[in-house]
Amino acid sequence: MRPTASFASNAGAWMTRPRLKNRANIAPWMAFDSGAKHHGTRVDREDGFTLIEIMVVMVIVGILASFVSLSIGNRTNDDRLQAESKRLQQLILFAAEQAQIQGVEIGLRTTTEGFEFLSMDNRGLWQPVDEGTLRPREIAAPFYLELTVEGQKVKPVEVNHAEERRQKEADDKKDDEKKDPGADSELHLDNDKPKNRPQPQIFLLSSGDASAFQLDLKLKNYASYYRLDCDVLSRCTLQRQQASK
């Protein structure tokens, strides 16, 4: 079957139709697609972030990070305060127990470095406990102790350890040289007592009696602290306190 003349005429007209030479003759939807395809740089720029947006996000992230850091720091301070306060409570209770079990008099004093336990020797003199569980303990800055006995604040002692050791050696030498134990001992205790001899601020006696006191463990420029409250029977409670504004 041969094509008709009409069909051949239409086909020739289609083949000789002039092609579109510029994009102005393209339909609008075709021009949009072509632009999206060949001008990807413009589309990418519209879909990305501007410098201002990035800076805003960075500021927000910084603020959130500071809040998280502050929260962690406060938690760490509270944990350290609580741990040190519990250790202090356990040591005082242990000292009170040892005083009754061993029949010795034990004392405690706060110092500019921390706190120390004292024990009374057979001459009736207080001597620092240098070793063992009741050895001197340091409270490192910015932590510090505040002692209150019978409603009065007691300042920490600035200890001269070298002078105290020298005095102890002198006491031992006098004991070795004395001939009349009763008379020399009385003179030694009453009339020849040096001013720098260590003295306790808190007493934990072999009879079970004790000083009533409050011992606060604080952190400089921090509102929360822990208070150890002990009565005359060495019953101690530990509570978290908030400093009044």
pLDDT in tens, 32-76: 444 444 444 444 455 667 878 778 888 777 776 655 444 444 568
- Gap between the Cα atoms of 108 and 197, Å rounded: 14
What confidence tier does 187 reach under pLDDT thresholds 50, 70, 90? very low
In this structure, are 76 and 179 located in the same domain? no
Residues 111 and 183 in one domain: no
**How many domains are there within the chain?**
2
Least confident of 123-132, 167-176, 226-235: 167-176
**Residue 27, domain member (yes or no):** no
125 in the same domain as 187? no
Q: Are residues 96 and 188 in the same domain?
A: no
Determine the pLDDT at residue 10. Answer: 53
Residue 22 placed within a domain: no
Cα separations in angstroms, 141 against 114, 122, 180, 218, 219 = 10, 36, 49, 10, 8
Name the phi and psi angles at 122, rounded to 5.
-75, -5
Is 113 contained in some domain?
yes
pLDDT, tens only, 89-111: 999 999 999 999 999 999 999 99
pLDDT score of 49: 73
185 and 129 together in one domain: no
* Residue 30 scores a pLDDT above 60: no
In a domain, 13, yes or no: no
Residue range of the domain that includes 116: 54-159+198-242
Q: What is the pTM of this model?
A: 0.64
Same domain, 121 and 155: yes
